[in-house]
Amino acid sequence: MTRPIFVRFETPSDVADKVLQLIQVANETGKIRVGTNEVTKSSERAEAKLVVMAEDVDPVEILVHIPMLCEEKRIPYLYVPKKARLGQAAGLTKSSASVAVVEAGEAKGLLEELTATFATLKS
């Protein structure tokens, strides 16, 4: 299976699991933005600390602009394989194409670790 056009690098499954854990903790103790419109707004305002996108989004055009915006604003971004798991980690009963972590809450250490991982994966 080919990767969607907006996926710029492969995220290992152990990193994706940590990302989902971060979103869950940030949802409970910090602040997140859910949905592509909210992610776009928080990224444009440089409020997002980390942006997470699901790889199985259809149509892919929904997320094509997000990696470019993140790079412009120097916001780290990562991918998870399934939008259903992303929505579940964000506390939703439905799926979500993207989530932005605005405040990590009790997951600050995990956020720092994933930010360093982003730099490694992207290079």
Contact yes or no for 122/9 (Cβ under 8 A): yes
Q: Where are the beta strands (DSSP E) in 1-123?
A: 31-34, 50-54, 77-80, 98-103
Contact yes or no for 50/111 (Cβ under 8 A): yes
Q: pLDDT tens across 79-118, in order?
A: 999 999 999 999 999 999 999 999 999 999 999 999 999 9
Whole-model pTM: value is: 0.94
**1 pLDDT exceeds 70?**
no
User: What integer is the mean pLDDT of 4-33?
Assistant: 93
How far is it, in rounded angstroms, from Cα 47 to Cα 49? 7
How far is it, in rounded angstroms, from Cα 70 to Cα 109? 21
* Domain map (residue ranges) of the chain: 13-122
Q: pLDDT tens across 23-77, in order?
A: 999 999 999 999 999 999 999 999 999 999 999 999 999 999 999 999 999 999 9
Contact yes or no for 85/23 (Cβ under 8 A): no
CATH class of 13-122: alpha beta
